[in-house]
Amino acid sequence: MLMHMPVVKSGFRPDGSRNYDHLFAQVREEIAGADLAIVNQETILGGEELGFSGYPTFNSPVEVGDAEAAAGFDVILQGTNHALDRSARGIENCLAFWETKHPQIQVLGIHDSAEDQNELCVVRCGAFRIAILNYTYGTNGLQMPAGKGYLVDYLSEKRVRDDIARAESSADLTVVCPHWGTEYRLTADNAQKKWALIFLECGVDLVIGTHPHVIEPIELYTDEEGRQMPVYYSLGNFVNATAAYGKGIMNRAVGGMARVTIGRGADGGACVKRADVLPLICHDVADGMTVYFLDDYTEELAEENRFAKRDPNFSLASCRDLADRIWPGLTAQEVRETPVQDRNHADNP
């Protein structure tokens, strides 16, 4: 959810109110139908008090969060390189909104106290307990305010290893959502691969990455015991309205929705049964903005899309070619039914 100012303004209503339900209108059924739905909220929701702004230091309306709740999201990832764009006040405003308006939703990656930072997020999903962790590589050089080192979760190896160890002892599956990688690069970089190996070593079951703003491959990691860990290096953008022009800008219009099925293995242990992806396209038009599944997009819609003015190579065919190249067959990985180590913690609080 990359809230450039045209995306922010798309929610302004004539009566002065704001509403962003349109961003999810074409994909709402898939979101609501998931047992557990997660969204990366790239920009801080600091609200009107702090003034709305886009690149390079963002602040977005809290009504974006209302639309995410209405769409059916259960977990919000706020641990991004833009988490400190409005310093501590932005994070505190954002968390106050979530806690007041949507207390049932888990918000990860940012905190208003050291106690909150030490709380492990474990979500019940049917018969499963799923631990979800969210970290960012950095915050664009912005430093933590003095005495508030708890505000943002960074990819610090000791903390990550300690958190995963706690997750492994209290949940059936562990999911890590890192904000990592190199912007606009269509392949994983060395840092992503290094961290993926650390996650595998620690026992993580699934990795869903963000930050590059373009899609990157899905890779299946396997440890020495045959345990498998799908890694989505980058899902690209869901929504954005970049001001940039030129070759390659069209890549920023294509994103993806990770779709993961979990179940029980032969020994009753929890495991990832399948990990695939539903390609998306951001539809940026003068009278509104929304997101379509690429399978539902048409030539007529593509001709209206303002990404065609930003990149002369933009077309429905080029978007499909990109998705096919990065995610061959569109359901990129079949995960062998190898259960993770059985971790039955039904007696834990």
Q: What is the pLDDT of residue 347?
A: 34
Q: What is the three-class DSSP state of 168?
A: helix
Q: What is the pLDDT of residue 332?
A: 42
Residue 337 has pLDDT above 90, yes or no: no
Contact 160, 135 (CB under 8 A): yes
Give percent of the chain above pLDDT 70.
94
> Average pLDDT in the 309-337 region?
81
Q: What is the pLDDT of residue 330?
A: 55
> Average pLDDT in the 82-89 region?
98
Is residue 181 left, alpha or beta, with left meaning phi > 0 and alpha meaning psi from -120 to 50?
left
Residues 6 or more apart whose Cβ sits within 8 Å of residue 9: none
Residue 343 has pLDDT above 70, yes or no: no
Residue 155 has pLDDT above 70, yes or no: yes
Q: What is the pLDDT of residue 266?
A: 80
> Average pLDDT in the 306-326 region?
96
The conformation of residue 181, written as its DSSP 8-state character, comes to S
Residue 328 has pLDDT above 70, yes or no: yes
User: What is the assigned CATH class of domain 5-326?
Assistant: alpha beta
Q: What is the pLDDT of residue 269?
A: 85
Cβ atoms within 10 Å of 89's Cβ, excluding its own: 14
Give percent of the chain above pLDDT 90.
90
Mean pLDDT of the chain: 93
Residue 165 has pLDDT above 50, yes or no: yes
Question: Quick one: how far is CA 78 from the chain centroid?
Answer: 9
CA-to-CA distance for 52 and 49, rounded, in angstroms? 8
pLDDT band at residue 342, thresholds of 50, 70 and 90? Answer: very low
Q: What is the pLDDT of residue 348?
A: 33
Q: What is the pLDDT of residue 331?
A: 47
In sequence order, what DSSP letters do the residues of 99-131 get, joined into one string?
HHH-TTSEEESB-SSHHHHT---EEEETTEEEE
User: In terms of Cα–Cα distance, which of 3, 37, 26, 1 is closest to 293?
Assistant: 26
CA-to-CA distance for 346 and 349, rounded, in angstroms? 8
